[in-house]
Structure 1
Amino acid sequence: MDIQPDKQNLDRTFATTVYYIDFYQRDYKWTDEPVRRLIDDMFYQFDEAYAKHSALEPNGENVNARYPWYYLNTYVTNTVQGRVFVVDGQQRLTTLTLFLVQLYRMATAFDSKTVGWLERKIAGYAGTEYEFWMNHVRHIQVLKALMEGAEPSTVDTSSGVTAINMVQNFVLISSELRQRLTTKHRFETFIYYFLYRLVLINLAVESTHVPMVFEVINDRGVRLKPYEILKGKLLGQIDKLELESGGYNDIWEERVAAVNANREDEIDNFFRYWLKAKFADTRKSGQRFDGDYHREMFKADMNGMLKLDHEPSQVKAFLKGDFSYYASLYAKLWKASLQEEILYPAVYFNSLNELDSQYLLVLSACTVNDPHEAGKIRVVTEQLDRLFTLLQLQGAYDSNEFAARLFEISAELREKPAEAIPAIFDKHLMAEIAERRATEVKQVFSYTLFRPMSIDRLNTRFIRYFFGRIELLLSSGMKLKMKHGLQELVTSRGAKTGFHVEHILSRNDESLAAFDGDEERFEVERNRLGGVLLLKGKDNISSGNELYAHKLKSYANTLYWNETLRSDAYHSKLDFRDFAKAHHLSFSALNKFGPEELEERQRLLFELSALIWSAPTGALS
């Protein structure tokens, strides 16, 4: 038979079989909620029966005859070369073992005759070896310490989340059992009930059917994550002895842990990005991987390319090749997204703009064990930042169209050399500008399109990012440290401590007069990028609707870009003057601010933007 069901009570389940934790199984992750539910369920039946039969002697005959049985669900095992592996049900079996350990400790305290019986339900001799029946090899120190009576707070949980959860749940179980089993008679009656009347059904499954059974079982109730099921479908094809000798399970666990260290279950996002990067040429074709990608991987068209279904040799090559390399690359990108790195700073810049599409593009560009990996990461992420920014600054950004175009770019740069990548981005950047602005485009960055750009056409996060990058450029040119980090400039939003966009031209008679009293023109002009600054909350509040001459004073000791409006920004600043001269930048202090000055600042922002987001193949004008 392929599946062999066997109804058994706990006295039989924990008797002579050592249960090894299969690679399919997750860490022990039960929290207090399912543990409490299990306690409440088993005591509901026990309490009702005990109320009727509390006068009876606690023994197997009385309990079997008068206490109802309680179904604890199914657990699935697979026997390989004499070893019994738990394919499904480890969470429940581990929890029941923790019950047995506390019952053993209580039996010792009650001086109960059940002590020896309970000890044999936790551990015993399998041949000549004394072993715990639930063989959590990496966490055996937890069961050993608890069995020996150690205080839970002193137990070593450094082996991982399984150890931590075992101790936490043991504390809960101990507390509940001490409260519910207060007399020796009630305690011993419960022991017979627990071991004789709690029933499990064991399904023994042949190795070839384990992945299928595993997936079907976990479609019920709380489902496993796609990557957890994929693990079973892949590793289930490899001989268990070879899994260990070849280190395939270790490869999986190490790469998953590295990716998930960044965010819980992030590995699912990795697989989706990798599949789209390598096998989707359009946004629509990539959408098939947004859901149960693990099922898509084994459909006929995908399996024709991946060859992972019933192909152990290909699975082994995949684990040591594509999976190992690209998961490591993904983890590396995640790390670089958290803080600016010298090798490829644009990974961090893109993360500030929440451009997760950089994962898609980098995975697409790189080959397995790519010798030019660092160079490709740098150029791809810089080009993505440039594409996104120049579309925004020229009024050509549409989120849906941008997302669709990224798939076209991904398909074109797939495994291309680094030197070919900028031209691909350039082509799509110019095509997108032409399409969105309905105009002939001869260069990637045009002042004609940038000139009217105003804050009412951009989202606030991007505006802060834009001025943050201007600030970063100026601090570098001045050879000074930034006064506020880029992340703070982009993401800090507190009313008093966050950074806010402020108009240089306040609404007052002086400002309006500079635009000949034309309200409509004044409102349009003051919103242009050259007419706004980033100010910290308290500075923003203090400047209010003051006249420009008064506001100019408040710009001292704020950001470098703000300070360039003031004459003292140019006193004895040789590095700054050298920087401006080298790049032909028309910086000057502005003691008044009207239409001409605003135009001057807008043009200067264009020139600074051109320095930051320079175009390797498209001219700037």
Structure 2
Amino acid sequence: MSDTHSTIDRTIDGVAKTIAEVLEKKKYSIDYYQREYKWESKQLAELVADLTTKFLDLYEPGHSRKDVAKYAGYFLGSIIISQKGSQPFIVDGQQRLTSLTLLLTFLRRLQQGRDDEVDVDQLIYSEKFGEKSFNLDVPDRTDCMKELFDSGAYEPRPDASESVHTLAGRYSELDELFPDELRNEVLPFFIDWLKDRVQFVQITAYTDDDAYAIFETMNDRGLKLTPADMLKGYLLANMEDGKPRTTANELWRKRLRTLDDQADDASSDFLKTWLRSQYSKKIRERKKGAKPEDWDRIGTEFHRWLRGAQDGIGLSSKTDFYEFVTRDLDFYSHQYERILRASRGTFHPDSPLRFVRYNSDLGFTLQDQLLLAPLRVEDSKQVIDQKLEIVGRFTDILLAWRIWNFRATAYSTMQYAMFNVMRDIRGLAAAELATVLREALLKIDENFDSNDHLHVHQQNRGQLHKILARITDHITVRSGLPSPYIELTNGTNVRYEVEHIWANHPERHVDEFSHEADFARHRNRIGDLLLLPKQFNASYNDDTYEKKLPHYYGQNLLAASLNPLSYEKNPGFVAFAKSSQLPFKPYKQFKAADVVERGDLYRDIAKQIWNPDDLPAVAKG
């Protein structure tokens, strides 16, 4: 390898290594200028789905643990290490290694207490010179990683680094991403395979100059062509030479660069999303031995897939190839850019794309292919916005219903169903789109009426935070006040948390609950929950309801609606309560029956927010 770049003249090692060989009892540092961990929900979901799907293709009931040694390996690409004396630094690969460390930390906790537990501790942290530290040794992540390792949850401070917020966010998603079929007796088989059959090629240089020369050579000089590069080359080669090819090449570069400026790997994600949304007809069946179909192949090798599918998608002449880039890619990339901006940029509470933000805040990345599916190049701006709002509302309602009924919304759980929806709505006009999606919702058995016992627990606290934010936002905006959604979801300096109305003092409720466990279950019901600033909870957490009640009036309207003053001094709220016919009422005391009644109010509000009949109303304009 030493002759790949003119400045590389020292020893360079390139060796295939398993995850265990890369991580076990090793210590890696990351240079300060590339320390941020930036993987988003979609990237973690795809990694977990790829690993678990590959393993399930190999595993057979009746296999013994030793049979895993014969399973085919799985290649996760290359990582580049700069060895500075005794200390290795990661130059390329920290996103994957960090994500794998999170997955190993999750698997460690998942298998605790089992007789067949696989020891993965030394892949996560190790002891050196009498001190324990994490194998990916980044000081500002230590507290977060320690809490995730010890307790499986971490609440970052508002001023914490981007990496810490991302680490906590991605870890919280793993429980939904990891498939149920691997949580039983198969779990140690999967962990064995992950440790000892999943591999990297580790390239080690012994100076920073050499390490970065390799990195630049592989990424900037054509030695590591991406699937996007290969797709572009194929499309351009089939166009008229001269101005058409030059025009298409410039447009491709401009559009994909613009997307990558929005988010890491956004251009690659766009190409997968666009091609899936417009052209995929089948998805891999959910049974062992089923072959990958076009939806799956677009996700892993879209450049190869398109070569074989060109006739089916109408690429016959040089003009077809030219327009595929200058018309179709241009159109869909602009819409994808709008989706990206709506999902993470400035929030506009009146925008038809506000539902994209709501769904994105729940980590639901499968919405992107749904949003692009009905769009057509000839659609006007008004029609595009109608379609995006209809699909966004549909997804919003679907997620709310699933959360209300304790159903998973993870990528791996939802991808098959969302593929079917995507295929069914492809190219539909706005009115037909609204009809199809409304009918799809009405066929679902589980909605707000199918569960009377919604409660908070460790796994759904983040989701209920968003549900409560939407309920609070709805009554606030309908009462004539500005939207507080961004503030309630911690987009400002104020930290909001899901808080109980009842303090955790079962002895105050012995007249209604003879057992502490019954009190705890009732206290966790949705009707006993509010969103309040963390500082409020710090001040009044242990107070009785009667002592908290005056302070609730100064908080958001959902909390303030407990206080009689809201019905005397807030004409906007009173008018909304009357016009909406919602059963708002103040409570001087808050007893067990009141928790249930308050929960019924929340459900009635939710039915107004998440209403399938809103879809055809949008189509009518």
Q: Where on the TM-score scale, by shorter chain, does this alignment land: which range?
A: 0.5 to 0.7
Does the CA contact (< 8 Å) of 1:493 and 1:499 recur in 2? no
- List per-residue Cα deviations over 1:372-431 (Å, max 9, x = no partner): 211101111111111111221133445344322111111111111112223433443344
Alignment partner, residue 603 of structure 1 = 600
Aligned residue among 560, 563, 568 for 2:565: 568
- Matched with 1:223 is 224
Query: Is 2:305 aligned against 1:304?
Result: no
SS in 2 for 1:297: helix
Partner of 1:267: 267
Tell me what 1:477 maps to.
478
CA–CA distance in structure 1, aligned partners of residues 367 and 490 of structure 2? 20
* Alignment-derived partner of residue 9 in structure 2: 41
What corresponds to 1:132 in structure 2? none
Q: Deviations over 1:63-115 (max 9, x none)?
A: xxxxxxxxxxxxxxxxxxxxxxxxxxxxxxxxxxxxxxxxxxxxxxxxxxxxx
| Percent identity over paired residues | 22
Q: Determine the C-alpha separation between the residues in 2 that align with 1:35 and 1:567.
A: 79
Residue in 2 aligned with 1:237? 238
> Is structure 2 residue 390 aligned with structure 1 residue 379?
yes
Give distance in 2, aligned partners of 1:273 and 1:422: 22
TM-aligned CA deviation for residue 601 of structure 1? 0.7
Kindly provide the amino acid, as one letter, of the partner of residue 303 in structure 1: Q
Whether 2:537 is the aligned partner of 1:522: answer no
**Does 2:504 match 1:507?**
yes
Judging changes above 3 Å, is the alpha-carbon distance between structure 1 residues 307 and 584 closer, same or farther for their aligned structure 2 residues? closer
Q: Secondary structure at the match of 2:373?
A: helix
Partner amino acid for 2:376?
T
Separation of aligned partners in 2, 1:423 and 1:616 = 9
Q: Spell out the pairing of 1:420-431 with structure 2 (5 A cutoff).
A: 420-431=432-443
Amino acid in structure 1 at the alignment position of 2:372: L
Partner amino acid, structure 1, of 2:588: N
* SS in structure 2 of the partner of residue 533 of structure 1: strand
Q: 2:330 aligns with which of 324, 328, 345?
A: 324
Structure-1 residue corresponding to 2:556: 559
Does 2:588 correspond to 1:588? Answer: no
Query: 1:441-473, CA deviations, whole angstroms, 9 ceiling, x for partnerless residues?
Result: xxx542xx2421111286222111111111211
- How big is the shift at 1:220? 11
Determine if contact 1:340/1:347 at 8 Å carries over to the other structure: no
Distance 1:319 1:493, change over 3 A: closer
Other structure's SS at 1:306 match = coil
SS in 2 for 1:589: coil
CA gap of 1:585–1:458, structure 2 versus 1, over 3 A, is farther
Say whether the 8 Å CA contact 2:502–2:528 is kept in structure 1. yes
Alpha-carbon spacing, 1:234–1:423, altered in 2? closer, same or farther (3 Å) = same
How many aligned positions are there? 396
Going from structure 1 to structure 2, the CA distance change for 1:266 and 1:43 (only over 3 Å counts) comes to: closer
* Aligned partners of 1:379 and 1:422 also within 8 Å: yes
Deviation at 1:498, TM superposition (A): 2.1
Mapped pair 1:357 → 2:356: no
Measured at CA, do residues 464 and 43 of structure 1 come closer, stay the same or move farther in structure 2, by a change above 3 Å? closer
In the TM superposition, what is the alpha-carbon distance from 1:612 to its structure 2 partner? 0.8
What is the CA–CA distance in structure 2 between the aligned matches of 1:368 and 1:618, rounded to whole Å?
Answer: 22
- CA 1:609–1:412 in structure 2 vs 1: closer, same or farther (change >3 Å)? same
The separation in 1 between residues aligned to 2:553 and 2:417, in whole angstroms, is: 43
Q: Work out the CA distance in 1 between the residues paired with 2:385 and 2:338.
A: 11
The letter for the 2-side match of 1:350 is N
Structure 2 counterpart of 1:489, which letter? L
**Equivalent-residue separation in structure 1 for 2:526 and 2:223 (angstroms):** 51
> 2-side partners of 1:445 and 1:463: how far apart?
14
Kindly tell me: are residues 378 and 608 of structure 1, through their superposed partners in 2, closer, same or farther at Cα, counting changes over 3 Å?
A: same
Distance in structure 1 (CA, Å) of the matches to 2:602 and 2:238:
59
CA shift in 2, pair 1:398/1:40, >3 Å: closer
The residue aligned with 2:404 is 393
How far apart, in 2, do the equivalents of 1:253 and 1:380 lie? 29
Indicate yes or no: 2:609 matched with 1:612: yes
Q: What is the root-mean-square deviation of aligned Cα atoms in Å?
A: 3.3
* Residue in structure 2 matching 1:368, options 366, 377, 385: 377
Give, in whole Å, the separation in 2 of the partners of 1:327 and 1:578. 44
Q: Aligned letter for 2:397?
A: R
1:450, 1:606 within 8 Å by CA — same for their partners in 2? Answer: no
Contact 2:3-2:9 within 8 A present in 1 as well: no
2:299 to 290, 302, 318: 290
Which runs of 5 or more residues in structure 2 are unaligned? Answer: 13-208, 210-217, 285-292, 617-621
Q: What secondary structure, in the 3-state scheme, does the structure 1 residue paired with 2:262 have?
A: coil
Distance 1:532-1:238 versus aligned 2 partners, 3 A rule: same
The aligned residue for residue 208 of structure 1 is: none
Q: Which has the larger radius of gyration?
A: 1
- What SS does structure 2 have at the residue aligned with 1:502? strand
| 1:411 matched to 2:417 | no
| Deviation, structure 1 residue 358 | 2.0
Q: In 1, are the aligned partners of 2:545 and 2:590 still within 8 Å (CA)?
A: yes
Label 1:517 to 1:222 Cα distance change in 2 as closer, same or farther (>3 A): farther
**Residue 365 of structure 1 contacts residue 414 of structure 1 at CA under 8 Å; is this kept in 2?**
yes
Deviation at 1:349, TM superposition (A): 1.4
On the 8 A contact 1:529/1:602 being kept in 2, the answer is: yes
Amino acid at match of 1:339: T
Question: Partners of 2:429 and 2:392 in 1: how far apart?
Answer: 15
Give me the whole-angstrom Cα distance separating, in 2, the residues matched to 1:502 and 1:493. Answer: 19
After the TM superposition, which residues 123-202 of structure 1 pair with which residues of structure 2 at under 5 Å, given as runs?
none
The answer to whether the 8 A contact 2:434-2:615 is kept is no
CA distance in structure 1 between the aligned counterparts of 2:261 and 2:408, rounded to whole angstroms: 33
2:311 partner letter: G
CA drift of 1:347 comes to 1.6
Q: For residues 512 and 466 of structure 1, do their structure 2 counterparts lie closer, same or farther at Cα, with a shift above 3 Å needed?
A: same
Q: CA deviation at 1:273?
A: 0.8
Question: Which whole-Å deviations, capped at 9, do the CAs of 1:195-232 have from their partners, x for residues lacking one?
Answer: xxxxxxxxxxxxxxxxxxxxxx9999952221122111
Contact 2:527 2:596 in 1 (8 A): yes
CA contact (8 A) 1:511 1:594 kept: no
Q: Hey, what's the Cα distance between the residues in 2 that align with 1:506 and 1:415?
A: 53
Query: Retained in 2: the 8 A contact 1:471–1:561?
Result: yes
Once the two structures are TM-superposed, the CA of residue 514 in structure 1 deviates from its matched residue by 4.5
CA deviation after TM superposition for structure 1 residue 323, in Å: 1.3
Contact 2:364 2:409 in 1 (8 A): no
Asked if the contact 1:395–1:457 (Cα under 8 Å) also holds between the matched residues in 2, the reply is: no
| 1:257 alignment counterpart | 257
Question: How far is the alpha carbon of 1:251 from its aligned partner?
Answer: 2.1
After superposition, the Cα gap between the structure-2 partners of 1:603 and 1:505, relative to the gap in structure 1 and judged at 3 Å, is same
When residues 589 and 568 of structure 1 are mapped into structure 2, their CA distance, relative to the original with a 3 A threshold, is same
How far apart are residue 478 of structure 1 and its match? 1.9
- Residue in structure 2 matched with residue 461 of structure 1 by the alignment: 462
Matched residue, 2:532: 535
TM-score of the superposed pair, with normalisation by structure 1: 0.58
| CA-CA distance at 1:283 after TM superposition | 4.2
Offset of 1:272 from its aligned partner? 0.6
Report the alpha carbon displacement of residue 282 of structure 1 after superposing the two structures with TM: 4.7
Q: Which position in structure 1 is the counterpart of 2:140?
A: none
Q: TM-score, normalised by structure 2?
A: 0.58
